[in-house]
Amino acid sequence: MSLAEELIEELNCETVFTIHLGGLEIPVMESVVVTWIVMAVLILIAFILTRGLKTQNISKRQAFAELIYEKLTGIVGSMLGEEGKQYTGYLTTVLLYIGLSNVIGLFGFKSPTKDLNVTVALAIMSIVLVEAAGIYQNGVRKWLHNFTEPVAIVTPFNILDVFTRPLSLCMRLFGNVLGAFVIMELLKIVCPPVIPAVFSLYFDIFDGLLQAYVFVFLTSLYIKEAVE
């Protein structure tokens, strides 16, 4: 198998199985299955961390859980601002999901974020949340009026924003994960065994977590802008 074929095989997201629902054929892709694994891991960790919570004489586990909670909601909450506080939960979840999805490649799984469909879904949810937050906060009239701000001439660009923002979110995440993966695969083939480990720290761990942060940061920035 040539390098190109190997890469393509790694990049392809295969259908693991197909659900037959009446006449409907629903393919379940690899990325969805890995997402389930990611979800299972995250929920299991959350479940274990929040067992036996107490108000006094807390266990180390609870202290750790509270630390994670305070830090994550603190970071995301401060990005969202006072008005957008209620979206902290969703964005924190997304942060954890993308973060673990990006680094799960280290454990031999195909990162779900390497599948364009997953990043598209994430971006769609982000833009829906952004616009919904804007409508919820300002009402439909003001939300529509905001498209003509600050001057009427920018209205087309503002409308374009609704599409370019999720597109850039989705492509940035997908492109980074894909690029990192391709570079790592090439490094592994060209100069094994020590050098790829060093680069893996950057491409697999740092870049993966950074992209998760960037995605959440930009989404919260849009929400903050929308609810102001």
Partner 1 sequence: MINVSFWNIVFTVINLLILFVAFRIFFFKPIANIIAKRQQEANEIYDNAAEKESQADELKKEYEQKLVSVEEEKKQIISDARKSADSQYQKILADAKEDARNIKDAAVVEANQEKSKIIAGAKKEIADIVVDATTKVVGSKTGADIDSSLFDEFLGKAGE
Residues in contact with partner 1 by the rule CB under 8 A: 8, 11-13, 26-29, 31-32, 35-36, 39, 42-43, 46-47, 49-50, 53-56, 62, 65-66, 69, 73, 89-90, 92-94, 96-97, 112, 114-118, 120-122, 124-125, 178
- Smaller CB separation from partner 1, 177 or 227: 177
91 class by beta-carbon count within 10 Å (0-12 exposed, 13-18 middle, 19+ buried): buried
We find the least distance from the C-beta atom of residue 97 to partner 1, in angstroms, to be 6
Nearest in space to 35 (alpha carbons), one of 109, 87, 86: 109
Q: Could you tell me if 178 and 186 are in contact, meaning their C-beta atoms sit under 8 angstroms apart?
A: no
Q: Please state, in angstroms and rounded to a whole number, the distance separating the CA atoms of residues 158 and 146.
A: 9
We find the least distance from the C-beta atom of residue 167 to partner 1, in angstroms, to be 12
Nearest in space to 158 (alpha carbons), one of 147, 172, 145, 168: 147
We find the least distance from the C-beta atom of residue 194 to partner 1, in angstroms, to be 29
- Smaller CB separation from partner 1, 97 or 203: 97
Q: Please state, in angstroms and rounded to a whole number, the distance separating the CA atoms of residues 225 and 205.
A: 30
Q: Please state, in angstroms and rounded to a whole number, the distance separating the CA atoms of residues 225 and 131.
A: 10
- Smaller CB separation from partner 1, 54 or 141: 54
We find the least distance from the C-beta atom of residue 176 to partner 1, in angstroms, to be 15
We find the least distance from the C-beta atom of residue 203 to partner 1, in angstroms, to be 18
Phi/psi of residue 193, nearest 5 degrees: -110, -20
**In terms of residues, how long is the chain?**
228
- Smaller CB separation from partner 1, 89 or 139: 89
- Smaller CB separation from partner 1, 186 or 191: 186
We find the least distance from the C-beta atom of residue 121 to partner 1, in angstroms, to be 4
- Smaller CB separation from partner 1, 114 or 165: 114
We find the least distance from the C-beta atom of residue 34 to partner 1, in angstroms, to be 10
